[in-house]
Structure 1
Amino acid sequence: MPGRYTVGMALSALSLEDRVLGGWLGRIAGNMLGKPVERGDHWTRERIDRYLSMAGALPLTDYIPVLDPPPDPAEFALRPEWPQCTRGNIHGSARDDDVDYAILGLDLLETYGPDFTTEQVGELWLLRLPYLQTFTAERAAYRNLANGLRPPLTATADNPYQEWIGALIRADVHGWTSPGDPRRAASLARRDAVLSHTGNGVYGAMWAAALIAAAFTAPGARAALESALQHVPPGCRLARTVRGTMALHEAGLDWAATMAELDEETRGLHWIHTVPNAALVTAGLLYGAGDFTATITLTVRGGLDTDSAGATAGSVAGVLCGAAAIPPQWTEPLQDRVRSAVFGFDGAAISELARRTVLLVP
């Protein structure tokens, strides 16, 4: 079945190039899928499914459709970018920070190599990334850099977002360039993350990078998740919540029941916080049961930071199955083209970004 990864699929069974391209395409497709409903305090899981039901789009198997005529705009208003990221309206990817940071990570490794310093991460941000295209912890760190602060103060000075999801969404390239080596991936991601994050914000980046690296050689999502947990402190809240999500799935709870349990477990955390979104990605991968489409659609239907969680789930699932197995409704509208705010990369070919990523693999 297209888009399905199977137990026993070793790295040699699919080329490294296909797996890396699958990660890029999966990240961009998952991001585009979640972008119209990215506002977790409004677009709850229940509201997303109510919208999809009215649109005749459950089960969700393609990008989110636009309802015509539109329903109550106060309740169902899509994000302003919806004309660029809804079904039938996609002609190349829309610009988004979840993709900008993957591109910036590629540029980081091409410019400084795997021995980059945290200070060099900051230098590249100032050179390549417009300030107004940064958000939450990244904007706070950028401001601190411009004011002359150096890491680790860039992450802690006047930054209430230190454990939010920003560092996690920057981690993919460290996993893509460390196939089968989650320890290396986590180490690279940590050096990047501490520019802007602390605690679970850093652990989320290490976990995501390790998860993606493990996906190159793991027999499936659960094995990759188990491997990734070995590279973050076992007692941190992120690790405890991910393990709890895996236990709920193993106990036989259905997806809806697991989502309800996770709501209780993470109650009080902001919808952009790393911990609930890592749990959501974990659930999407497990309940997606090896199917690319089910993985990203369940993740996005779970709410929270829909485009970021969808992007990370898509990256992992894309590595697991490879680009050639991703169903065409996700990849063809992207037209092998990405929009980006990173200077020098707008309009780049996705396939070229993947080719350059492969060249960075040791």
Structure 2
Amino acid sequence: MTPVGNEPELTDRILGGWLGRIAGNMLGKPVEQGDLWTRDRIDRYLRQAAALPLTDYLPEPADESDGVQLRPEWRSCVRGRIHGSCRDDDVDYAILGLHLLETHGFAFSTEQVGDLWLLRLPYRQTYTAERAAYRNLANGLKPPLTATYDNPYQEWIGALIRADVYGWTCPDDPRRAAALARRDAVLSHTGNGVYGAMWAAALIAAAFTAPTVRHAVDTALTVIPPGCRLARTVRRVMSLHDTRMTWEDTLSTASEETSGLGWIHTIPNAAVLTAGLLYGDGDFTRTITLTVRGGLDTDSNGATAGSVAGVLTGARAIPARWKDPLEDTVRSAVFGFDGVAISDLAERTARLAGAER
């Protein structure tokens, strides 16, 4: 967790972010259905497979009935079966964000984000708020109406998962990262949905120089309104962690206090993510495994936790069991990017970050 110094160090930390995002996403993808795969059920699955404590990708199901309930992509996401990453929107949006900055620069407009969606992203690979915004764009609406018209998902997690690239390209500049993430987020989200994107981008930007993950979480809170529900929820998890409450009890408390919002809403997922980061305490494996075991939107939370932890540690420090199965290859629905090398994405991201330093 040393400050970013020379260009190779910056590139390694950014590569850590990309690898962490992809590995965390792959870890959580088989159990991505929070109303079915609860925290208790995930741990029961792991016990049946003798995989607790979890230190690697999910094992194959020990029980045939569990296999039926997993996401259909599980056969490409469990340990021993991974050959490159699966396609997923949590990674597609990071790629699209990189392409946006390469195409339009850091002065991009929200309208240009929408134009790039229509040009590069298949409609059926969008979900919830993004699908509503895409439909609104195709029908000729402009931001901010794209976020508000016939869109019941405005505070769900979609904008948060699009924020990483703004953190990666703004090392140690969380306010700038948050401003960029906001400009992207308002295409499809409002309120805590937008604040979630700003918070995540700032968290990743702060991770480049934060002495501990707690410092990064503290810094990220400074970019969103202190009275918003997202900020209050994150601070609540931090306070429970400070009392030395167990990870399990912290999540149980947070779950009770955010009940009724649904498993894809930004607020309960931010609680799971914050707990994973704090109790993971900078250890890459512990961070992503605790976050995924926390349930809810497991692949999205695992991806963001992995991005933060990967930036904190750098790619070289990520254990090989997480990196090697990815084979430096990412699948993507973004036109022109399927099969691209992860290392190439990291180098392109580092060039943008370096140009702005």
Residue 254 (structure 2) pairs with residue 296 (structure 1): no
TM-aligned CA deviation for residue 260 of structure 1: 0.7
TM-aligned CA deviation for residue 220 of structure 1: 1.1
SS at match of 1:60: coil
Cα distance between partner residues in 1 of 2:109 and 2:175? 17
Residue 28 (structure 2) pairs with residue 38 (structure 1): no
Q: 2:54 aligns with which of 42, 60, 77?
A: 60
Cα distance between partner residues in 1 of 2:89 and 2:76? 15
- Contact conserved, 2:193 with 2:266, CA < 8 A, in 1? yes
TM-score (norm 2): 0.97
Cα distance between partner residues in 1 of 2:142 and 2:282? 43
Residue 87 (structure 2) pairs with residue 95 (structure 1): yes
How large is the Cα RMSD of the aligned pairs?
1.1
TM-aligned CA deviation for residue 73 of structure 1: 4.3
Equivalent residue number for residue 9 of structure 2? 15
Q: 1:144 aligns with which of 130, 133, 136?
A: 136
- Contact conserved, 2:251 with 2:271, CA < 8 A, in 1? no
Equivalent residue number for residue 161 of structure 1? 153
Q: Which amino acid aligns with 1:63?
A: Y
TM-aligned CA deviation for residue 10 of structure 1: 1.8
Q: Deviations over 1:169-209 (max 9, x none)?
A: 00000000000000000000000000000000000000000
Q: Which amino acid aligns with 1:175?
A: G
Cα distance between partner residues in 1 of 2:212 and 2:26? 24
Equivalent residue number for residue 45 of structure 2? 51
Equivalent residue number for residue 313 of structure 1? 305
Residue 53 (structure 2) pairs with residue 24 (structure 1): no
Equivalent residue number for residue 344 of structure 1? 336
Equivalent residue number for residue 244 of structure 1? 236
Q: Deviations over 1:290-347 (max 9, x none)?
A: 2100000000000000000000000000000000000010000000000000000000
Residue 233 (structure 2) pairs with residue 233 (structure 1): no
- Contact conserved, 2:76 with 2:82, CA < 8 A, in 1? yes
SS at match of 2:87: coil
Q: 1:267 aligns with which of 259, 273, 287?
A: 259
Q: For residues 183-262 of structure 1, what are the structure 2 equivalents within 5 Å?
A: 183-262=175-254
- Contact conserved, 2:45 with 2:66, CA < 8 A, in 1? no
Structure 1: 5+ residue stretches without partners: none
SS at match of 2:299: helix
Q: For residues 268-287 of structure 1, what are the structure 2 equivalents within 5 Å?
A: 268-287=260-279
* Equivalences, count: 353
Q: Deviations over 1:208-240 (max 9, x none)?
A: 000000000100110000000000011000000
Structure 2: 5+ residue stretches without partners: none
Q: Which amino acid aligns with 1:227?
A: T
Cα distance between partner residues in 2 of 1:282 and 1:72? 32
SS at match of 1:66: coil
Q: Indicate the percent of aligned positions where both proteins have the same amino acid.
A: 74
Cα distance between partner residues in 1 of 2:191 and 2:250? 25
TM-aligned CA deviation for residue 71 of structure 1: 3.5
Cα distance between partner residues in 2 of 1:354 and 1:165? 24
Cα distance between partner residues in 2 of 1:227 and 1:327? 27
TM-aligned CA deviation for residue 12 of structure 1: 2.4
Structure 1 outlier segments of 4+, above 3 Å: none
TM-score (norm 1): 0.96
